[in-house]
Structure 1
């Protein structure tokens, strides 16, 4: 249905004013239409239309009643509010009228306020003048008080003098504070100038106080009252400082004085200056040792004074004993670093390390029963750092190494000087040659290692390593000296007279050193000798053995030159002479200990076998027939048998002898059927794989009955059956050179024709 123009004009203002009403009405109509269409969808439901109409009518009446009631109560509240607003407006108008009246009254009194301002200024001036009048007697007596205070200070009446100074400072500071509050900073200079004497008094008092503090360790024993007085004055000043610092508005000149910190500083400077600012120290051990003993004695004594006496003279919060202990500790640490900058000898370094690492913390010093438990320097850290300890240990080892080197050089020189004595070397209870060399060397090294056990394990290990290095170097110098003595002896075999006995003594000495080296290790469960040192010992032993064998060789060579010659073929005298020489030397060899004797005997037998083979390889004669070859073989058999029996009698088993090669050579030479020669040579080569073609060729030449074809056949057979050297094989032929044959078509020492 449409609306009329009047309705639209009447509805427009309402809709513009209350747009929600129209929206609510549309929603209500839509909801009602939806409900009615749902209820009266079926025709049979139209019978209850009257019932629904009456029920909805009642509901609308109820809702309208409640709306009227709500609107009525709302309108009553609005009416009451409007009435209160009307009353408030009236009251505000009344107040505005009264304020206006008061404003006009105040404007009328403005002139009278100017008169009161002048009165206020006069009142402030009166108050200031009254204050000045009150302090005038004190101000007029300032100079007199200064003089009196100065006399008190000169008479060491410190408490009375300090009381006067505090009074004057209080008066000055009060005046300065008043000036500061009134902004009269320009007048402060005048006040400070008037009270300038206070500076001199403070300086004089402070000088006496710090002199007392510097002598505190002596005063607490002789006159503790003076020291206590100084502490009381310092504490007074600390309280004044604390009070002024709490009031941040004004801080007088010279404040805070900080005299308590100055007390600590002076006490620390006194401790440091009196004990540790010493002149240049003696860098040698005894001098440093005496200095450290004096430090130990004085520090313990002074700390006992602090604990027993000074602690009672100062407040507990000073913690004076801990302060002094820390000061001594730090000053001592710095002092020791200064000492370590000097070029200290090994004894001084040793004393310093022992003192720092053991004495300092022991019951003889900082762990003294009289200082415990209050003194605990373990919390202050080490006197010297671990790095400096390690550096000092290394310096000690370097110094000790130089000393050990010098000692060993002197010992070695003395040892070889004894070689030229007219008597044989000393013997032990078993008759073995020996000298004091190994005993002196081991004892010296062992004493240096053991003494460091009282310092640290690291130092002991460093010294042990150094000792092994020096022992190895000593063995090298010993070998060089042996070589030099050997060269000198070969030039004149009469010097020294007892050359062989001293060589034998040296062998025993090396054996003694070898058995004693494990005892040097500081850890008894770990006594392995380093490989380089074992090698040095072995080289020294071999060098002495070599010199002994060279001496034997010099006596054997004149006899060996005649071996395998026609003169040798004629009789047994040559081998008898060889046995006499060998027997003589082996009797000397018996003066060395068993393992060495066995070694010398083995080397001696190898030398004899080698020289015998060398003589055969010289090819001084060639058998001219069967008879001569038989004689040659018989001579070989007799010589080899006699030499073998000699060495057997000396204790060398046949299985250990190299002379068996002479028997093998004899078998090769005495073979009657040359057709079997190839087989015989093959067996020989198998037994002695280091034999060469030249050696076999020379032996075949000795027979005198081997044709070129047979020689070629034998050598070809050797080439077809090369032999490898077993690991345990003792080379024999490889050390023997075969002389090159002379060329028949060249002239001697001249040009070819």
Structure 2
């Protein structure tokens, strides 16, 4: 706005240098044109052109003034910064000049520094000699001490005089110090150095305090060392005092204190002697005189005896700590204080790694814990002399429970008050008891424990240990917490112990089951019938004994863990299956004895029926043994064993029935039978007699026996007909045969129906179907009749049909051939639900025709 076309096309020379400025100007012009075209698009807006011009002019003026102000402030800041840089440059130049002057001054003073270095070495030697002077009264006495002091004083003075380059005033002052020291030493044979309160600390030989634990007073405080007094500058105040005891005298006195059980006093003197020895050794170490250390150690050899004697008394006290805290806690507290003194000395020495005296660190606090643990372990946890049988182990575990709880109460109520808080003695003792019990129980588990002992251990570990009667005792909570210590024995060891327990239980169950089987086998040969229940069913005590035995073991195992219960249950199922196998073998053996003499056992059939009832009782009781009642299924292998047992007992019963039926079946078929004998009636009497015996078993087994008996009778009847004992010679005989078959089959069917077996469950229909084949008057129709017969009974073979055709007596070879060919053309497959009948009937082999010489075969 307000710019001509010429202005728009004017090229600023600076735009070539600053292309961004040109781009910004173009954008601004474009924005202004866009704004103006929008505002003045309508004609009535042109009237306000003057107002817009004045407003934009004011706006531009405001912006320009702000820009000028900002630029001015920036320029002022730059000017101030330049001024500061000039000032800093001048100061740096001055510093460089001062550093140069200092450098030249240092170079001029190099000779003086060498003199100071000699002075420093002289002071170090003076400090060492002064420390030796301090310890001499403890090592020597009388003239020996005076001579030693004179030698040291002369050596000290000679050292100072050799450094003639030092300041004369310093030499004179040191000569005065040495002269004062020499005259002072020669006046007395025993002395003690007393320092002024403001200049010197306590002497080395003052009574040691508990806080004075560092034997390195000279090293621990590297500040100005105390100087002995001189006439001009009194620093030391030499005083004549009674002679101090020598080292060996202190040894004897310390031993006497130990024998009198003055432990704190004895330990104070022991620390003083160790302080003296270690200070001398340290000075030798600094001087590199390691060869002289052996002499010092030999001189202080009595310290080893003192340490051992003190340690022996301390550990004896710690070993009786549970008793002492109740009777005489002062002695125990003294022992703990001594242990803490030594522990602090160890810590101070370990912090200064330049020199470690012999015998350090002692580690008496760790030894304290070790002795305490040995005491706990040795007082209760011995497996060598303990009785590991069930009753003996029960008494031992009860004693452990009682003693551990009582001793933890002593620790919680008394011992905690006798030791520092950082000992955490209750937690430490709890962990010690826990670890000792763990090791002790592992040792016990290495023994060959019986079933009762293993059960007691598992119950004690998993239940008693964490119960309110032991570690969760109200008097111990909440301070005692064994949950953080882990299990008393590992899960793997628990599982291993459970397996051992299962093995022991298995052996016991096997033994009891074998005894039960032997008793059962003897009962089979008794001269009286088996016992009956309230319903009159035969039974014995075998299932009750077996189930009670298994159920009791599973129930007892459930008191420990669910996993043990499951293990015992699996073992029980395996043993029950094996027991059924042995029972089946015993039953077979009994059957063999009965085959030799049918009068033995006298009540063979009733006991077989009792076995069936027992087997049914076991089958119905097994699901109740399962730990999970919601999934109480009989294992497949056990179900198979029960079925095998049932089949074997049924087989023996049917064999017994067969033995009574066979003499009657041998008379079939015959002319006498055709004429109307009472043969089948006799068979019915035998069947009815056995059916009455079968009624002494429960209904499922009774119906099974009834069905199997009916099938046995049917198969024996059909087998007798197919023995080729008779051939119908005429139509009249065939008619008689048909009538007899009808009467016999009807009589037998009605018998079994009356006993409770429905007609559709009977197999006697095969006799009626066979009768139809024989009663057919036209042999030419036999093919169709046989086809229907084999369709209904697909297990009929060619031999069976040939035998039936022979029984008719009127079938020609052509008809026979046609019938057999028809059977070959229509093979039959056995349906899945079909009960075979004819496949169990063997047909005698056909007799070969007898051929005579020079004749034709008939």
- Give the TM-score taking structure 1 as reference length: 0.82
Verify: 1:434 aligned to 2:539, yes or no: yes
SS in 2 for 1:427: coil
Equivalent residues in 2 for 1:108-123 (5 A)?
A: 112-113=164-165
Residue 417 (structure 1) aligned to one of 511, 522, 531: 522
Verify: 1:711 aligned to 2:816, yes or no: yes
Residue 169 (structure 1) aligned to one of 274, 283, 296: 274
Distance 1:181 1:641, change over 3 A: same
Equivalent residues in 2 for 1:331-730 (5 A)?
A: 331-730=436-835
1:505–1:592 Cα contact (<8 Å) kept: yes
| 1:145 equivalent in structure 2 | 250
SS in 1 for 2:696: coil
Distance 1:99 1:741, change over 3 A: closer
Aligned mates of 1:215, 1:287 — CA distance in 2: 28
Verify: 1:239 aligned to 2:338, yes or no: no
Aligned mates of 2:291, 2:806 — CA distance in 1: 135
Residues 647-668 of structure 1: per-residue CA shift (max 9 Å, x gap): 0110011111111111111111
SS in 2 for 1:384: coil
2:454–2:497 Cα contact (<8 Å) kept: yes
Aligned mates of 1:155, 1:722 — CA distance in 2: 117
2:383–2:444 Cα contact (<8 Å) kept: no
Distance 1:638 1:176, change over 3 A: same
| 1:205 equivalent in structure 2 | 310
| Alpha-carbon shift at residue 183 of structure 1 (Å) | 4.8
Residue 402 (structure 2) aligned to one of 294, 297, 309: 297
SS in 1 for 2:850: coil
Equivalent residues in 2 for 1:189-338 (5 A)?
A: 189-338=294-443
Distance 1:291 1:717, change over 3 A: same
| Alpha-carbon shift at residue 688 of structure 1 (Å) | 1.0
| Alpha-carbon shift at residue 383 of structure 1 (Å) | 1.6
- Give the TM-score taking structure 2 as reference length: 0.72
Distance 1:330 1:342, change over 3 A: same
1:560–1:611 Cα contact (<8 Å) kept: yes
| 1:731 equivalent in structure 2 | 836
| Alpha-carbon shift at residue 626 of structure 1 (Å) | 1.1
SS in 1 for 2:165: helix
Aligned mates of 2:757, 2:537 — CA distance in 1: 20
Aligned mates of 1:388, 1:671 — CA distance in 2: 82
Residues 714-735 of structure 1: per-residue CA shift (max 9 Å, x gap): 1112222222211111111011
SS in 2 for 1:327: helix
| Alpha-carbon shift at residue 455 of structure 1 (Å) | 1.1
Aligned mates of 1:494, 1:287 — CA distance in 2: 54
Verify: 1:745 aligned to 2:850, yes or no: yes
Distance 1:486 1:111, change over 3 A: closer
Aligned mates of 2:634, 2:336 — CA distance in 1: 67
Distance 1:385 1:127, change over 3 A: farther
| Alpha-carbon shift at residue 189 of structure 1 (Å) | 3.5
Distance 1:229 1:715, change over 3 A: same
Distance 1:251 1:679, change over 3 A: closer
| Alpha-carbon shift at residue 541 of structure 1 (Å) | 0.4
| Alpha-carbon shift at residue 280 of structure 1 (Å) | 4.6
Aligned mates of 1:99, 1:707 — CA distance in 2: 158
Distance 1:259 1:111, change over 3 A: closer
| Alpha-carbon shift at residue 324 of structure 1 (Å) | 0.7
| Alpha-carbon shift at residue 123 of structure 1 (Å) | 7.8
Aligned mates of 1:586, 1:339 — CA distance in 2: 62
Aligned mates of 1:638, 1:649 — CA distance in 2: 16
| 1:24 equivalent in structure 2 | none
Aligned mates of 2:467, 2:740 — CA distance in 1: 84
Aligned mates of 1:520, 1:343 — CA distance in 2: 29
| Alpha-carbon shift at residue 692 of structure 1 (Å) | 0.9
List alignment gaps of at least 5 residues for structure 1: 1-76, 748-753
Distance 1:449 1:123, change over 3 A: farther
| Alpha-carbon shift at residue 152 of structure 1 (Å) | 1.6
Aligned mates of 1:536, 1:128 — CA distance in 2: 111
| Alpha-carbon shift at residue 392 of structure 1 (Å) | 1.3
Distance 1:626 1:123, change over 3 A: farther
| Alpha-carbon shift at residue 593 of structure 1 (Å) | 0.3
| Alpha-carbon shift at residue 126 of structure 1 (Å) | 6.8
Residues 72-106 of structure 1: per-residue CA shift (max 9 Å, x gap): xxxxx9xxx9xx99xx9xx99xx99x969x99xx9
Aligned mates of 1:120, 1:177 — CA distance in 2: 29
List alignment gaps of at least 5 residues for structure 2: 1-85, 116-160, 194-204, 206-241, 853-858
| 1:73 equivalent in structure 2 | none
- The structure, 1 or 2, with the larger RCO (C-alpha pairs under 8 Å, 6+ apart) is 1
Equivalent residues in 2 for 1:79-98 (5 A)?
A: none
Aligned positions, number: 656
2:383–2:440 Cα contact (<8 Å) kept: no
Aligned mates of 1:377, 1:201 — CA distance in 2: 40
1:572–1:639 Cα contact (<8 Å) kept: no
Aligned mates of 1:126, 1:451 — CA distance in 2: 96
Residues 462-481 of structure 1: per-residue CA shift (max 9 Å, x gap): 11111111111111111111
2:191–2:244 Cα contact (<8 Å) kept: no
Aligned mates of 1:438, 1:288 — CA distance in 2: 34
Q: Which moved more, 1:271-280 or 1:337-346?
A: 271-280
Aligned mates of 1:707, 1:280 — CA distance in 2: 99
Residues 564-608 of structure 1: per-residue CA shift (max 9 Å, x gap): 112222323111110110000000000000011000000000000
Distance 1:630 1:111, change over 3 A: closer
Aligned mates of 2:723, 2:373 — CA distance in 1: 94
Aligned mates of 1:597, 1:155 — CA distance in 2: 97
Q: Which moved more, 1:526-535 or 1:131-140?
A: 131-140
Aligned mates of 2:524, 2:311 — CA distance in 1: 80
| Alpha-carbon shift at residue 292 of structure 1 (Å) | 1.7
Residues 474-495 of structure 1: per-residue CA shift (max 9 Å, x gap): 1111111111111110110000
Higher helix proportion: 1
SS in 2 for 1:391: helix
Superposition RMSD in Å? 3.0
| Alpha-carbon shift at residue 111 of structure 1 (Å) | 9.3
Q: Which moved more, 1:146-155 or 1:462-471?
A: 146-155
